[in-house]
Amino acid sequence: MENLSFVERAGDVVIARWLEQRLSAALAATAGSIAISIPGGSTPFPILEILKRSDLDWSRITVWPGDDRIVPEDHAASNTGKIRALLEPAGATVIALTEQDSTPHFALVWLGMGADGHIASLFPNTDPQIDDVQPLRRLTPDPLPPEAPFDRITLTIPALLDSDQLVFVIRGEDKRAVFDAATIGGHDLPIARLLSNTSQPVTCFT
């Protein structure tokens, strides 16, 4: 993949500074606001803690979770609730996916990936399609992850691809092997379906 670059052994500060530079450039390119999508889980929040202390004009940034568990925002499993608590005090607008039926063009989409090759809540059993006519889908992972046994709402592959750039943070040898195989057509997991249809720059931090 000629549009893919790796940044090896990147710590949280390095990733936060990279994100700051990219978002600053996106803000400078427009007089209006920009939309970004970020993942849930444990990995993003230490990075976001650093990023929110930057000089970014958060009042011009709308933040979309890439997916969420269908639970109230005050539930411990809610990605939206955690993102809102962290970034709204900085001035960002945080979107609840359950209240939306369309998605914007994203300046940046940040994704994680599971060891099973899922992205957002597009698990292998959900058979995500690159030509999905819906930007958002409610679905049930199978099997349900024991740490979060909830139905999900997620951006679909076309919504994720409607972006200027994609960024991944992939940690662990097992996940790296799945990601690397996806870049060369070694399987047909959701990550492979997404990557095989990218034209924008893709950056992967490991």
**Which pLDDT score, from 0 to 100, does residue 58 have?**
98
Distance of CA 130 to the CA centre of its chain: 17
**Which pLDDT score, from 0 to 100, does residue 143 have?**
84
Q: List pLDDT tens digits, range 96-129.
A: 999 999 999 999 999 999 999 999 999 999 999 9
The stretch 69-75 carries a mean pLDDT of 97
The residue count of the chain comes to: 206
Q: List pLDDT tens digits, range 137-164.
A: 999 988 888 888 999 999 999 999 999 9
Q: Where are the alpha helices (DSSP H) in the chain?
A: 12-28, 44-51, 79-87, 157-161, 173-183, 190-195
- Range(s) of the domain holding residue 176: 4-205
Q: What is the pTM of this model?
A: 0.96
Is residue 94 a contact partner of residue 61, using CB atoms and an 8 Å limit?
no
**Predicted confidence (pLDDT) at residue 179 exceeds the cutoff of 90:** yes
Q: In what order do the strands lie in the sheet with 152-155?
A: 67-69, 152-155, 136-139
Token reading at 197:
């249809």
**How many distinct structural domains can be found in the chain?**
1
**Which pLDDT score, from 0 to 100, does residue 183 have?**
97
Q: Report the CATH number at residue 181.
A: 3.40.50.1360
